[in-house]
């Protein structure tokens, strides 16, 4: 280990509030993590972390040391990246999280282009519909859609997904094609509820100023985007979804657009990443690349 490694280990323990969590992310034995933090405390003659049986918290001195050492390592990493991205492209490990649909339908089909340009870059790609913890799970950047709630992260707005309403030909043959909001009384939707928390199905539409809600029936509730689209294709109900998620099905005729004048409000999409002054060149390059390939599916970001 070099002289900065104990500081890096301490920062990870402090961010995760866990020695075992830091050891797992860093790929080190628990004893090595504990020994390095203890060595730092002995070198500086202060207790940096308050350890209990349930959690680890920064002491007052530890918080001050965390802030100064975080800045120090950011400066050092920035110095080390001065020559990053040369003839052989970027290097290092990039850990990112994308929604299942965007990863499978947009990013993965073209990821080979990015990897060919940067053959020394190692990409760890997570795909999930749950909201990951960017800091605790060690992600460099995460693509999120909808309202952003975590103010401790830095957000990079990309724009908004255009929304579309669609149904399968089999569903329309069975229930007819809705032409007005009044027609919804005899229709059903596939309801998406990430927590399966019992929320009522409604039809959302944006009148240009605010979201309006119209009652509609729904017999099926799902908590995953893949099942949401599959249920619609199976004729189980209509869905309201970003155009990017179903464009291929609409083009092929497997799904049909309905009620084009009563679409949901465009869905904002943004990259979020840990709140720090320095962002590695590899992270910036990946975010730039994803933004470029998503551009055809996005309306411009609001100021």
pLDDT tens track for 210-238: 999 998 998 899 988 889 999 999 999 99
Query: pLDDT by residue (tens digit) across 172-209?
Result: 999 999 999 999 999 999 999 888 877 888 999 998 88
Which CATH number is correct for 91-152+274-299, 3.90.800.10, 3.40.190.10, 1.10.3720.10, 3.60.40.10? 3.40.190.10
For the chain, percent of residues with pLDDT exceeding 90? 47
pLDDT of res. 84: 56
| In the predicted structure, residue 92 carries a pLDDT above the cut 70 | yes
Q: Look-up: residue for tokens 């909001």?
A: 181
Element of type H or E holding 50: strand 49-51
Average confidence score pLDDT of the chain: 87
Q: In Å, how far are 109, 134, 162, 231 from 297, measured between CA atoms?
A: 16, 25, 7, 23
CA 268 to chain centre: 12
Query: pLDDT by residue (tens digit) across 6-50?
Result: 888 998 888 888 898 889 888 899 999 999 999 888 888 889 998
Same topology for domains 91-152+274-299 and 163-257, yes or no? Answer: yes
Q: In Å, how far are 34, 50, 99, 168, 179 from 89, measured between CA atoms?
A: 36, 42, 26, 45, 53
Query: pLDDT by residue (tens digit) across 278-295?
Result: 688 889 999 999 999 999
Model confidence at 85, pLDDT cuts 50, 70, 90, reads low
Q: What average pLDDT score do residues 127-140 get?
A: 81
Q: What average pLDDT score do residues 115-132 get?
A: 88
Per-range mean pLDDT, top range of 59-63, 69-73, 111-115:
111-115
Q: Taking the CB of residue 16, how many other CB atoms lie within 10 A of it?
A: 20
Model confidence at 135, pLDDT cuts 50, 70, 90, reads confident
Output the CATH code of domain 163-257: 3.40.190.10
More confident: 110 or 66: 110
pLDDT of res. 187: 95
Tell me how far apart the 2 most distant CA atoms of the chain are, in Å.
Answer: 76
How far apart are alpha carbons 163 and 245 in whole angstroms? 9
SS3 220: strand
Domain 5-80 class, CATH top level: mainly alpha
Model confidence at 87, pLDDT cuts 50, 70, 90, reads low
How far apart are alpha carbons 270 and 37 in whole angstroms? 35
* CA R_g for the chain: 24
Domain boundaries, the chain: 5-80, 91-152+274-299, 163-257
Q: Is 105 exposed, middle or buried (0-12, 13-18, 19+ CB in 10 A)?
A: middle
How far apart are alpha carbons 102 and 225 in whole angstroms? 10
How far apart are alpha carbons 214 and 182 in whole angstroms? 9
Reading the block at residue 31, the tokens are 């004893």
Q: What average pLDDT score do residues 140-144 get?
A: 91
pLDDT of res. 134: 83
Model confidence at 303, pLDDT cuts 50, 70, 90, reads very low
Q: Look-up: residue for tokens 């947009």?
A: 106
Q: Is 212 exposed, middle or buried (0-12, 13-18, 19+ CB in 10 A)?
A: middle
């Amino acid at each position: 280990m070099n002289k900065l490694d104990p500081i890096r280990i301490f920062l990870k323990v402090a961010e995760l509030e866990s020695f075992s969590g830091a050891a797992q992310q860093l790929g080190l034995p628990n004893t090595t993590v504990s020994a390095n933090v203890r060595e730092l405390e002995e070198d500086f003659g202060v207790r940096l972390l308050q350890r209990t049986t349930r959690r680890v918290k920064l002491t007052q001195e530890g918080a001050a040391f965390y802030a100064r050492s975080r800045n120090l390592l950011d400066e050092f990493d920035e110095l080390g990246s001065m020559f990053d991205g040369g003839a052989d492209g970027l290097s290092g490990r990039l850990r990112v999280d994308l929604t299942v649909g965007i990863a499978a339908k947009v990013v993965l089909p073209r990821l080979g282009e990015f990897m060919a340009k940067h053959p020394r870059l190692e990409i760890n790609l997570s795909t999930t519909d749950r909201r990951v913890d960017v800091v605790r799970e060690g992600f460099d950047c995460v693509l999120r859609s909808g309202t952003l709630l975590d103010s401790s992260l830095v957000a990079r707005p990309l724009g908004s997904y255009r929304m579309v309403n669609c149904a399968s030909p089999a569903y329309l043959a069975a229930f007819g094609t809705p032409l007005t909001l009044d027609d919804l009384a005899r229709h059903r939707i596939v309801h998406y509820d990430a927590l399966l928390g019992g929320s009522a199905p409604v039809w959302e539409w944006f009148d240009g100023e605010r979201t309006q809600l119209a009652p509609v029936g729904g017999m099926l509730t799902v908590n995953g985007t893949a099942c949401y689209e599959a249920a619609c294709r199976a004729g189980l109900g209509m869905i309201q979804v970003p155009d990017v998620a179903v464009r291929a099905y609409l083009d092929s005729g497997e799904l049909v657009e309905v009620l084009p004048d009563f679409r949901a409000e465009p869905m904002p999409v943004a990259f979020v990443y840990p709140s720090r002054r320095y962002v590695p060149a590899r992270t910036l390059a990946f975010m730039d690349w994803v933004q470029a390939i998503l551009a055809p599916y996005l309306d411009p970001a609001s100021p």
